[in-house]
Amino acid sequence: MKNIKQLLLLGFIFVLINGCGNSKPENDAIVRKVKVAAIEKASDTETKEFSGIIKESRAVNLSFRVAGPIKAIYVKQGDFVKQGALVAEMDPRDYQLQLSVAQAEYNKVTTETSRVIELYKQNAVTEADYQKVVAGEKMITAQLNRAKDQLNDTKLYAPFSGYIQNINFQKGEIVNIGMPIADLLDVNSYKVEVDIPSKLFVERDKIKKVTCKLNIDDASEIPLQLLNYQAKANSSLLYRMYYGLGPQSDKRVFPGMEVAITMEYKRTDSNDLVIPLGAIFYNNEEPNIWIVNKSDSIVNKYAIEIGEIYGDGKVSIKSGLKGDETIVVSGVNSLKDNEKVEIIEPISETNIGGLL
Protein backbone atom coordinates (compact mmCIF):
# COMPACT_ATOMS: atom_id res chain seq x y z
CA MET A 1 0.00 0.00 0.00
CA LYS A 2 2.86 2.30 0.84
CA ASN A 3 4.52 1.57 -2.49
CA ILE A 4 1.30 2.42 -4.35
CA LYS A 5 1.07 5.82 -2.66
CA GLN A 6 4.70 6.55 -3.53
CA LEU A 7 4.12 5.61 -7.15
CA LEU A 8 1.05 7.89 -7.36
CA LEU A 9 2.97 10.77 -5.84
CA LEU A 10 5.84 10.34 -8.29
CA GLY A 11 3.39 10.23 -11.19
CA PHE A 12 1.70 13.45 -10.07
CA ILE A 13 5.06 15.24 -9.77
CA PHE A 14 6.06 13.98 -13.23
CA VAL A 15 2.86 15.31 -14.80
CA LEU A 16 3.21 18.64 -13.02
CA ILE A 17 6.80 19.07 -14.20
CA ASN A 18 5.92 18.19 -17.76
CA GLY A 19 2.97 20.60 -17.68
CA CYS A 20 5.12 23.51 -16.56
CA GLY A 21 7.80 22.73 -19.07
CA ASN A 22 5.36 22.74 -21.97
CA SER A 23 3.44 25.96 -21.03
CA LYS A 24 2.24 27.93 -24.05
CA PRO A 25 3.42 31.50 -24.72
CA GLU A 26 1.08 34.42 -23.93
CA ASN A 27 -1.74 35.20 -26.29
CA ASP A 28 -1.04 37.52 -29.16
CA ALA A 29 -1.60 41.30 -28.54
CA ILE A 30 -5.24 42.37 -28.75
CA VAL A 31 -6.19 43.99 -32.08
CA ARG A 32 -8.52 46.87 -31.37
CA LYS A 33 -11.55 47.45 -33.52
CA VAL A 34 -12.02 51.02 -34.66
CA LYS A 35 -14.48 53.03 -36.70
CA VAL A 36 -13.02 55.15 -39.46
CA ALA A 37 -14.27 57.93 -41.70
CA ALA A 38 -13.15 59.89 -44.72
CA ILE A 39 -12.32 63.56 -44.38
CA GLU A 40 -15.03 65.87 -45.64
CA LYS A 41 -14.94 69.28 -47.21
CA ALA A 42 -16.84 72.04 -45.42
CA SER A 43 -20.24 72.75 -46.95
CA ASP A 44 -21.10 76.12 -48.41
CA THR A 45 -23.68 76.79 -45.73
CA GLU A 46 -24.05 76.28 -42.01
CA THR A 47 -27.04 76.44 -39.70
CA LYS A 48 -27.25 77.79 -36.19
CA GLU A 49 -30.17 77.62 -33.78
CA PHE A 50 -31.37 80.27 -31.37
CA SER A 51 -34.35 80.89 -29.14
CA GLY A 52 -36.78 83.67 -30.08
CA ILE A 53 -39.97 85.29 -28.82
CA ILE A 54 -43.09 86.09 -30.86
CA LYS A 55 -44.28 89.66 -30.50
CA GLU A 56 -47.27 91.54 -31.84
CA SER A 57 -46.43 93.67 -34.87
CA ARG A 58 -47.55 96.77 -32.96
CA ALA A 59 -49.26 97.74 -29.73
CA VAL A 60 -50.89 101.08 -29.01
CA ASN A 61 -52.35 102.82 -25.99
CA LEU A 62 -55.93 103.88 -26.72
CA SER A 63 -56.64 107.27 -25.21
CA PHE A 64 -59.12 110.14 -25.52
CA ARG A 65 -58.08 113.41 -27.12
CA VAL A 66 -60.33 115.26 -24.64
CA ALA A 67 -60.69 115.20 -20.85
CA GLY A 68 -63.73 114.27 -18.78
CA PRO A 69 -65.60 111.44 -17.00
CA ILE A 70 -65.91 108.06 -18.72
CA LYS A 71 -69.52 107.32 -19.64
CA ALA A 72 -69.03 103.70 -20.77
CA ILE A 73 -66.39 101.12 -21.70
CA TYR A 74 -67.69 98.65 -24.28
CA VAL A 75 -64.88 96.07 -24.21
CA LYS A 76 -63.14 93.87 -21.69
CA GLN A 77 -59.66 92.43 -21.50
CA GLY A 78 -59.04 89.73 -24.10
CA ASP A 79 -61.79 90.88 -26.47
CA PHE A 80 -61.08 90.91 -30.18
CA VAL A 81 -62.23 94.15 -31.79
CA LYS A 82 -62.43 95.08 -35.42
CA GLN A 83 -61.10 98.29 -36.86
CA GLY A 84 -63.54 101.13 -36.22
CA ALA A 85 -65.29 99.41 -33.29
CA LEU A 86 -66.41 101.66 -30.41
CA VAL A 87 -64.15 100.97 -27.42
CA ALA A 88 -65.22 103.60 -24.89
CA GLU A 89 -67.24 106.80 -24.61
CA MET A 90 -66.84 109.92 -22.52
CA ASP A 91 -69.71 111.95 -21.05
CA PRO A 92 -70.42 114.35 -23.95
CA ARG A 93 -72.60 116.97 -22.18
CA ASP A 94 -69.89 119.59 -21.70
CA TYR A 95 -68.81 119.27 -25.31
CA GLN A 96 -72.38 119.33 -26.60
CA LEU A 97 -72.89 122.59 -24.75
CA GLN A 98 -69.62 123.94 -26.10
CA LEU A 99 -70.73 123.06 -29.64
CA SER A 100 -74.09 124.75 -29.16
CA VAL A 101 -72.39 127.97 -28.01
CA ALA A 102 -69.95 127.86 -30.91
CA GLN A 103 -72.76 127.25 -33.37
CA ALA A 104 -74.77 130.21 -32.07
CA GLU A 105 -71.73 132.48 -32.21
CA TYR A 106 -71.00 131.26 -35.72
CA ASN A 107 -74.52 132.01 -36.89
CA LYS A 108 -74.29 135.51 -35.41
CA VAL A 109 -70.92 136.28 -36.99
CA THR A 110 -71.81 134.93 -40.41
CA THR A 111 -74.98 137.04 -40.46
CA GLU A 112 -72.97 140.15 -39.64
CA THR A 113 -70.33 139.22 -42.18
CA SER A 114 -72.92 138.85 -44.95
CA ARG A 115 -74.31 142.31 -44.11
CA VAL A 116 -70.86 143.96 -44.16
CA ILE A 117 -69.93 142.28 -47.44
CA GLU A 118 -73.06 143.72 -49.11
CA LEU A 119 -72.24 147.17 -47.76
CA TYR A 120 -68.64 146.79 -48.93
CA LYS A 121 -69.84 146.05 -52.44
CA GLN A 122 -71.75 149.34 -52.28
CA ASN A 123 -68.65 151.14 -50.99
CA ALA A 124 -70.56 151.84 -47.77
CA VAL A 125 -67.86 150.45 -45.43
CA THR A 126 -64.12 150.83 -45.35
CA GLU A 127 -61.61 148.18 -46.42
CA ALA A 128 -60.50 147.81 -42.80
CA ASP A 129 -64.03 147.03 -41.61
CA TYR A 130 -64.43 144.51 -44.42
CA GLN A 131 -61.18 142.69 -43.59
CA LYS A 132 -62.10 142.67 -39.91
CA VAL A 133 -65.40 140.84 -40.40
CA VAL A 134 -63.85 138.37 -42.90
CA ALA A 135 -61.13 137.48 -40.38
CA GLY A 136 -63.75 137.18 -37.65
CA GLU A 137 -65.74 134.71 -39.75
CA LYS A 138 -62.66 132.56 -40.31
CA MET A 139 -61.91 132.56 -36.60
CA ILE A 140 -65.41 131.55 -35.54
CA THR A 141 -65.47 128.86 -38.25
CA ALA A 142 -62.31 127.35 -36.79
CA GLN A 143 -63.81 127.46 -33.30
CA LEU A 144 -66.95 125.73 -34.52
CA ASN A 145 -64.94 122.97 -36.22
CA ARG A 146 -62.88 122.48 -33.09
CA ALA A 147 -66.05 122.15 -30.99
CA LYS A 148 -67.37 119.54 -33.43
CA ASP A 149 -64.08 117.62 -33.31
CA GLN A 150 -64.00 117.64 -29.52
CA LEU A 151 -67.53 116.27 -29.38
CA ASN A 152 -66.59 113.54 -31.82
CA ASP A 153 -63.49 112.78 -29.72
CA THR A 154 -65.69 111.80 -26.77
CA LYS A 155 -65.99 108.44 -28.54
CA LEU A 156 -62.93 106.21 -28.70
CA TYR A 157 -62.64 103.84 -31.69
CA ALA A 158 -60.20 101.01 -32.47
CA PRO A 159 -57.68 102.24 -35.06
CA PHE A 160 -57.09 98.67 -36.28
CA SER A 161 -58.29 95.14 -35.59
CA GLY A 162 -56.71 93.40 -32.62
CA TYR A 163 -57.01 92.18 -29.04
CA ILE A 164 -57.63 94.33 -25.99
CA GLN A 165 -54.68 93.70 -23.68
CA ASN A 166 -55.36 95.89 -20.63
CA ILE A 167 -58.14 98.19 -19.42
CA ASN A 168 -56.83 100.86 -17.07
CA PHE A 169 -59.99 102.74 -16.05
CA GLN A 170 -63.60 102.13 -15.14
CA LYS A 171 -66.90 103.82 -15.90
CA GLY A 172 -67.27 107.12 -14.05
CA GLU A 173 -63.58 107.83 -13.59
CA ILE A 174 -62.27 111.17 -14.85
CA VAL A 175 -59.39 110.97 -17.31
CA ASN A 176 -57.20 113.62 -18.81
CA ILE A 177 -56.10 114.04 -22.41
CA GLY A 178 -53.80 111.23 -23.54
CA MET A 179 -54.26 108.96 -20.53
CA PRO A 180 -54.27 105.32 -21.79
CA ILE A 181 -57.72 103.77 -21.43
CA ALA A 182 -56.75 100.39 -22.89
CA ASP A 183 -53.96 98.64 -24.80
CA LEU A 184 -54.66 97.25 -28.25
CA LEU A 185 -52.46 94.56 -29.87
CA ASP A 186 -52.28 94.26 -33.64
CA VAL A 187 -52.43 90.54 -34.49
CA ASN A 188 -52.87 90.87 -38.24
CA SER A 189 -49.18 90.01 -38.37
CA TYR A 190 -46.43 89.12 -35.92
CA LYS A 191 -42.73 89.64 -35.51
CA VAL A 192 -40.06 87.47 -33.94
CA GLU A 193 -37.27 88.86 -31.77
CA VAL A 194 -34.00 86.94 -31.57
CA ASP A 195 -30.60 87.85 -30.13
CA ILE A 196 -27.49 86.76 -32.05
CA PRO A 197 -23.75 87.01 -31.26
CA SER A 198 -21.58 89.76 -32.69
CA LYS A 199 -19.73 87.43 -35.10
CA LEU A 200 -22.94 86.47 -36.87
CA PHE A 201 -24.31 90.02 -36.70
CA VAL A 202 -21.25 91.39 -38.50
CA GLU A 203 -21.84 88.84 -41.27
CA ARG A 204 -25.65 89.21 -41.28
CA ASP A 205 -25.63 89.88 -45.03
CA LYS A 206 -24.54 86.24 -45.48
CA ILE A 207 -27.67 84.90 -43.76
CA LYS A 208 -29.58 83.16 -46.54
CA LYS A 209 -32.61 81.70 -44.80
CA VAL A 210 -34.32 82.10 -41.42
CA THR A 211 -37.17 79.95 -40.13
CA CYS A 212 -38.92 79.47 -36.80
CA LYS A 213 -40.78 76.57 -35.26
CA LEU A 214 -43.28 76.56 -32.41
CA ASN A 215 -42.40 74.46 -29.38
CA ILE A 216 -45.53 72.34 -29.79
CA ASP A 217 -46.30 68.99 -31.39
CA ASP A 218 -46.67 68.71 -35.19
CA ALA A 219 -45.43 72.28 -35.66
CA SER A 220 -43.90 73.05 -39.04
CA GLU A 221 -41.17 75.50 -39.97
CA ILE A 222 -42.37 79.04 -40.69
CA PRO A 223 -40.29 81.25 -43.01
CA LEU A 224 -39.27 84.66 -41.65
CA GLN A 225 -38.44 87.93 -43.34
CA LEU A 226 -35.99 90.46 -41.90
CA LEU A 227 -37.71 93.65 -40.71
CA ASN A 228 -34.93 95.52 -38.93
CA TYR A 229 -32.34 95.18 -36.19
CA GLN A 230 -30.71 97.03 -33.33
CA ALA A 231 -27.22 98.21 -34.22
CA LYS A 232 -26.17 98.37 -30.56
CA ALA A 233 -25.53 95.31 -28.41
CA ASN A 234 -27.67 94.75 -25.33
CA SER A 235 -26.44 94.06 -21.79
CA SER A 236 -25.70 90.45 -22.81
CA LEU A 237 -23.48 91.70 -25.68
CA LEU A 238 -25.95 90.30 -28.21
CA TYR A 239 -27.62 92.04 -31.13
CA ARG A 240 -31.40 91.92 -31.52
CA MET A 241 -32.89 91.04 -34.89
CA TYR A 242 -36.55 91.50 -35.81
CA TYR A 243 -38.19 89.14 -38.30
CA GLY A 244 -41.74 89.21 -39.60
CA LEU A 245 -44.15 86.34 -40.24
CA GLY A 246 -47.40 86.56 -42.09
CA PRO A 247 -50.93 86.28 -40.63
CA GLN A 248 -51.53 82.87 -42.23
CA SER A 249 -48.34 81.24 -40.88
CA ASP A 250 -49.98 79.19 -38.13
CA LYS A 251 -53.28 79.80 -36.37
CA ARG A 252 -51.68 78.70 -33.09
CA VAL A 253 -49.24 81.60 -33.08
CA PHE A 254 -49.78 84.12 -30.30
CA PRO A 255 -47.65 86.90 -28.79
CA GLY A 256 -45.28 85.79 -26.03
CA MET A 257 -44.68 82.29 -27.39
CA GLU A 258 -41.13 80.97 -27.48
CA VAL A 259 -39.93 79.61 -30.82
CA ALA A 260 -36.83 77.82 -32.11
CA ILE A 261 -35.02 79.93 -34.70
CA THR A 262 -32.88 78.30 -37.40
CA MET A 263 -30.51 80.51 -39.38
CA GLU A 264 -28.79 79.26 -42.51
CA TYR A 265 -25.85 81.34 -43.65
CA LYS A 266 -22.98 81.16 -46.14
CA ARG A 267 -19.66 80.05 -44.74
CA THR A 268 -16.54 82.07 -45.37
CA ASP A 269 -14.32 79.00 -44.91
CA SER A 270 -16.06 76.58 -47.26
CA ASN A 271 -12.67 75.33 -48.55
CA ASP A 272 -11.66 73.98 -45.14
CA LEU A 273 -11.54 70.27 -44.34
CA VAL A 274 -13.99 68.98 -41.74
CA ILE A 275 -13.75 66.03 -39.33
CA PRO A 276 -15.85 64.81 -36.37
CA LEU A 277 -14.91 66.20 -32.97
CA GLY A 278 -14.64 62.62 -31.67
CA ALA A 279 -11.65 61.99 -33.94
CA ILE A 280 -9.45 64.44 -32.03
CA PHE A 281 -7.31 63.59 -29.02
CA TYR A 282 -4.72 65.69 -27.24
CA ASN A 283 -1.06 64.95 -26.64
CA ASN A 284 0.86 67.52 -24.58
CA GLU A 285 -2.16 69.81 -25.01
CA GLU A 286 -1.80 69.66 -28.80
CA PRO A 287 -4.64 68.32 -30.99
CA ASN A 288 -3.88 65.10 -32.88
CA ILE A 289 -5.68 62.47 -34.95
CA TRP A 290 -5.02 58.87 -35.95
CA ILE A 291 -4.60 58.18 -39.67
CA VAL A 292 -5.13 54.59 -40.81
CA ASN A 293 -3.05 53.01 -43.56
CA LYS A 294 -5.65 50.80 -45.19
CA SER A 295 -3.01 48.52 -46.76
CA ASP A 296 -1.76 47.22 -43.39
CA SER A 297 -4.31 48.70 -40.92
CA ILE A 298 -1.56 50.50 -39.01
CA VAL A 299 -2.46 53.80 -37.28
CA ASN A 300 -0.13 56.76 -37.03
CA LYS A 301 -0.46 59.94 -35.03
CA TYR A 302 -0.58 63.31 -36.83
CA ALA A 303 -0.71 66.78 -35.33
CA ILE A 304 -3.38 69.14 -36.70
CA GLU A 305 -4.49 72.75 -36.34
CA ILE A 306 -8.14 73.17 -35.37
CA GLY A 307 -10.37 75.85 -36.87
CA GLU A 308 -14.02 76.64 -36.14
CA ILE A 309 -16.23 74.20 -34.27
CA TYR A 310 -19.61 73.80 -35.96
CA GLY A 311 -22.98 73.10 -34.44
CA ASP A 312 -23.27 69.67 -36.10
CA GLY A 313 -20.48 68.13 -34.02
CA LYS A 314 -17.74 68.74 -36.54
CA VAL A 315 -14.67 70.96 -36.62
CA SER A 316 -12.71 72.52 -39.45
CA ILE A 317 -9.01 71.71 -39.85
CA LYS A 318 -6.67 74.52 -40.85
CA SER A 319 -3.53 72.42 -41.39
CA GLY A 320 -2.12 68.90 -40.98
CA LEU A 321 -4.33 67.07 -43.48
CA LYS A 322 -4.45 66.70 -47.26
CA GLY A 323 -8.03 65.54 -47.47
CA ASP A 324 -7.62 62.01 -48.84
CA GLU A 325 -6.74 60.34 -45.54
CA THR A 326 -8.82 57.87 -43.55
CA ILE A 327 -9.05 58.77 -39.87
CA VAL A 328 -10.12 56.96 -36.71
CA VAL A 329 -13.30 58.43 -35.22
CA SER A 330 -13.84 56.28 -32.11
CA GLY A 331 -11.66 54.90 -29.33
CA VAL A 332 -8.91 57.38 -30.15
CA ASN A 333 -7.63 57.62 -26.57
CA SER A 334 -6.84 53.87 -26.39
CA LEU A 335 -4.53 53.62 -29.41
CA LYS A 336 -0.75 53.78 -29.72
CA ASP A 337 1.45 54.90 -32.58
CA ASN A 338 2.15 52.17 -35.17
CA GLU A 339 -0.54 49.95 -33.63
CA LYS A 340 -2.38 47.49 -35.85
CA VAL A 341 -6.16 47.83 -35.75
CA GLU A 342 -9.20 46.13 -37.22
CA ILE A 343 -11.47 48.45 -39.18
CA ILE A 344 -15.19 48.09 -38.47
CA GLU A 345 -16.98 48.21 -41.77
CA PRO A 346 -20.02 50.54 -41.79
CA ILE A 347 -23.43 48.88 -41.84
CA SER A 348 -25.23 49.25 -45.14
CA GLU A 349 -28.52 51.13 -44.96
CA THR A 350 -30.07 48.30 -47.02
CA ASN A 351 -28.51 45.55 -44.90
CA ILE A 352 -29.31 46.55 -41.35
CA GLY A 353 -28.16 43.81 -38.97
CA GLY A 354 -25.88 42.22 -41.60
CA LEU A 355 -28.47 39.60 -42.54
CA LEU A 356 -27.88 39.79 -46.31
pLDDT tens digits along 309-356: 776 778 888 888 888 888 999 889 889 999 999 888 766 555 555 445
| pLDDT band at 31; cut points 50, 70, 90 | confident
- Angle, vertex CA 105, rays to CA 102 and CA 110, nearest 5: 120
Residue of 54 and 3 predicted with greater confidence: 54
Distance of alpha carbon 63 from alpha carbon 176, whole angstroms? 9
Model-level pTM? 0.58
CA 345, chain centre distance (Å) = 41
Strands 40-41 and 298-303: unpaired
pLDDT tens digits along 172-221: 999 999 999 999 998 778 899 999 999 899 989 999 999 999 988 778 88
* CA-wise closest residue to 246 among 188, 161, 162, 184: 188
Q: Half-sphere exposure of residue 272, counting CA atoms within 13 Å on the CB side?
A: 23
Distance of alpha carbon 356 from alpha carbon 341, whole angstroms? 25
206 secondary structure, DSSP code: G
Phi and psi (nearest 5°) for 133?
-75, -35
Distance of alpha carbon 222 from alpha carbon 261, whole angstroms? 10
Domains and CATH numbers, the chain: 32-42+270-343 (2.40.420.20), 48-57+188-266 (2.40.30.170), 60-182 (2.40.50.100)
pLDDT tens digits along 96-135: 999 999 999 999 999 999 999 999 888 888 999 899 999 9
Percent of the chain at pLDDT exceeding 70? 86
Contact predicate 64/73, CB 8 Å: no
